[in-house]
Structure 1
Amino acid sequence: DPALVAAVAALMPIAALVLAPDGGQVVAAAALRGRGDNWFPTASHVFAYVIVMPPLAFLLGEMQGRGVAGLMEAIFIASCISVGVLVARFAWLTRRAQGGFAQPRET
């Protein structure tokens, strides 16, 4: 069906854009779980994908009339939120384990 091919072709750039933050949040969540921090990744996924993404998808997809592209954009934004929070948590745990920021040495 030519109409379907045209619709899918228009979504391919958005789908490609979603891959990086979505893959990043999977890696960051696995890194946190590897550190023994099991509940934080779950909580951040609930926040990003259950609390933020559905209303955002409705706003972008339905209210702004963007359709499936709006849904894909909501997935992209939720994935960016998720990866940002998870990487920040990993960095915080790493700094805490190392005793905070290194102090400059006196010369």
Structure 2
Amino acid sequence: MDRKYLILSVIVAAVIILAGAVAVSMLPHEPAAKTVYIVYGSEKGDLSYTDSAYQGLASAQDTFSLATREFTPSDYETLPGILNTTKGSERPGLIITVGFQYAGFTRQLA
């Protein structure tokens, strides 16, 4: 009778281990880092809303898994081309525009 309990215990343990292995394999994998573009209205370092936007993005990057790419006013002409050629996971999930001069551009993106 003891042998039956031993065999039953081994079978139950094997089923539990197998169920655990299947459950772990079904867990969602860590998603790739989201890409965020930020387009500044002026150069950083002027202690204005540009620096505030940068600090907010840096804080979010510390909290979440984010890949960031920064653009300055000199990049304004090339940014639409960059967005049109960016594909897949490199394409930004969020674009932050800082400054009134980007109102038209922001409308186009929306």
Scaled by the length of structure 1, the TM-score of the pair is: 0.29
Q: Return the structure number with greater helix share.
A: 1
Rg bigger for which structure? 2
Which protein is richer in strand relative to its size?
Answer: 2
Normalising by structure 2, what TM-score? 0.28
